[in-house]
Chains A and B, each alone.
Chain A
Amino acid sequence: MDIQIIGFGVIGQGFVEVLLRKERFLKQRYGLDLKVVSISDITGTAVEGEGIDLRRALEVMRQTRGIINYPGARKMTGVEAIEAFEADAVLEVTPSNIQTGEPGLTHMLKAMGQGKHLVTSNKGPLALRFRALSDAAKKNGVEFGFEASVGGAMPIINLAKVNLAGDEILAIEGILNGTTNFVLSRMAKEESPLEIVLKEAREMGIAEADPSYDIEGIDTAAKLVILANALMGIDATYRDVKTQGIRKVTPEAVKLAKEDGYAIKLIGEVRNSHLEVAPRLVPVDHPLNVDGILNVALLQTDVAGDITVVGKGAGAIETNSAILSDIISIALKRGLG
């Protein structure tokens, strides 16, 4: 199976690392020979019909931070690479943009328009234009894998679509952002204000320099939209979510809740076509009360009852567990070796 990688940051490089680590396993278990035929980032595109030397590509990135420095790389954009080269699938892992969805949205539509299967972890385009993307996949007869866009390694989309195929999902609620969960967990443990804990999270690499995307609930809202669309057939976009972040949560509020047997968590909830993100009181013995960077989701279904999944919600390697699972299932379904 020939793959083009568009976007070569943390997730893209993580994919290559996982691929190197799992090469033999994939061959032995699935008879799968995954070949990366091109890698594009903002600087240019590296291309090799026989397969990119992945170790070398990682080395180039470590030393120069631009794929243009890979031997023979061209000054060519992601869109041009998708158009120019043959491949079975495109892995779109450019940075997420919740305002316009770009450049990911164009990459995705272009890839599907070219008859290439698409796998992505990029939330922005999905949170804004889910219906358009799934329609494009159908129209072009290609697979669309986006397990990695919600909950990192936590398997939720394929769990609901494959294992719970006969169930109707009535409601979903969960912690879909590891950074806020880390912050709230630390606030409960240390009784410190949000700003202090956030600083600590930044030093540990858990929060970004500008963490407002996480703290204001935007990231959770984007993921919630993807779940509502993919699992409940709700044609919602990011702008339909009532969103309240955790910026105003005080250490006293966390302490009062704790003394009464509750934890405060940033919860995304979809029920009766209503999508909401807000801090909530979660009973300490409730399955949604998980700490640290963990993500958790509770699916309320009509036949199976409640199903809860917990897993690491972020991380370059962990997220690639979801990407790899999408790629393997496409390869097996479409008979690509």
Chain B
Amino acid sequence: MKISLDLELKDVPGQLVKALEPVSRMGGNIISVVHLREELGKGRVPVHLLFEVRDSAMLDAIIAELERRDIWVSKVGEFKKKEKITLVLVGHIVDTDIRDTIDRINEIEGVLVADLKLAMPHPEKESSALIDIEVTRPEKAKEALQRLDSVAREKDLLVIRSLRS
């Protein structure tokens, strides 16, 4: 899991190393460190840290060690970068219950139909829709596309996916 941590360090030499050393030693993989010296307040320097840990037990151990070293941890968050999948559907999208199609994608945890543009040339003709789906993790994208493929098969819709590369 990817973790974002906001720390506040004492404004004395050696503090940054003191903060990073346990993260690395205890198994965390540091991705980025932003040292915000210009935002010095309350005599402390804010530092924004992004790193990967294996699980929450490893994270808890790192935070406990930082606090033991008198480093203030002001904010902990799991960093979730959203990924967007764009695709086009063609067929009787409205007649085959568009609400149901969207719901069945949305019911997967971490997957959301974020945008849909529909073009209907004539009520009896096939319509086309451009859909943006947001997913929180790459493996969710695969799950969302599999779900969509099975719904499309059932409703005889053509799915035009984005190029893989």
Contacts and interface: CB of A to CB of B under 8 A. Distances in A.
- On whether the two chains bind one another, the answer is yes
A279 B160 contact: yes
A260 B13 CA distance: 51
B90 interface: yes
A264 B87 CA distance: 10
A257 B163 contact: no
Contacts of B120: 252
B144 to A, nearest CB: 15
Best-buried of B121, B128, B161, B163 by chain A (most CB within 10 Å): B163
B42 interface: no
A255 interface: yes
A6 interface: no
Given A252-B119, A255-B119, A281 B90 contact: no
Contacts of A249: 90, 158, 160
Contacts of B117: 256, 259-260
Given A244-B158, A250-B90, A256 B129 contact: yes
Nearest to B90: A253
Nearest to A256: B130
A244 B117 CA distance: 23
A283 B164 CA distance: 11
B90 A283 contact: no
Nearest to A173: B165
A267 interface: yes
A202 interface: no
Nearest to A271: B164
A280 B90 contact: no
Interface residues of B, number: 21
A173 B165 CA distance: 9
Interface in B92-132: 117, 119-121, 126-130
A314 interface: no
A298 interface: yes
B162 interface: yes
A257 B165 contact: no
Nearest to B132: A260
B64 to A, nearest CB: 43
Contacts of A259: 117, 130
A329 to B, nearest CB: 30
B128 A253 contact: yes
B162 to A, nearest CB: 4
Contact of A281 (B91, B121, B126, B161): B161
A253 B88 contact: yes
B136 interface: no
Nearest to B117: A256
Best-buried of A248, A252, A257 by chain B (most CB within 10 Å): A252
A89 B163 CA distance: 41
Contacts of A264: 88, 160
A281 B163 CA distance: 6
B163 A280 contact: yes
Contacts of B86: 260, 262, 281
Given A256-B117, A257-B130, A267 B163 contact: yes
A281 B162 contact: yes
A288 B127 CA distance: 27
Contacts of A281: 86-88, 160-163
A300 B129 CA distance: 31
B8 to A, nearest CB: 42
Interface in B143-165: 158, 160-165
Contact of B165 (A248, A278, A279, A300): A300
Interface string A147-187: 00000000000000000000000010100000000000000
A196 to B, nearest CB: 14
Interface of A: 171, 173, 244, 248-250, 252-253, 255-257, 259-260, 262, 264, 267, 269, 271, 278-283, 286, 288, 298, 300, 306
8 contacts: A171-B165, A249-B160, A252-B120, A252-B127, A253-B128, A256-B88, A267-B163, A281-B161
Closest 10 pairs between A and B when the two form their complex, measured CB to CB: A252-B119, A253-B128, A252-B128, A256-B130, A248-B158, A281-B162, A279-B160, A253-B90, A253-B88, A280-B163
Given A253-B88, A256-B128, A298-B165, 14 more contacts: A173-B163, A244-B158, A248-B158, A249-B90, A250-B121, A252-B120, A252-B128, A260-B117, A271-B164, A280-B162, A280-B163, A281-B86, A286-B163, A306-B165
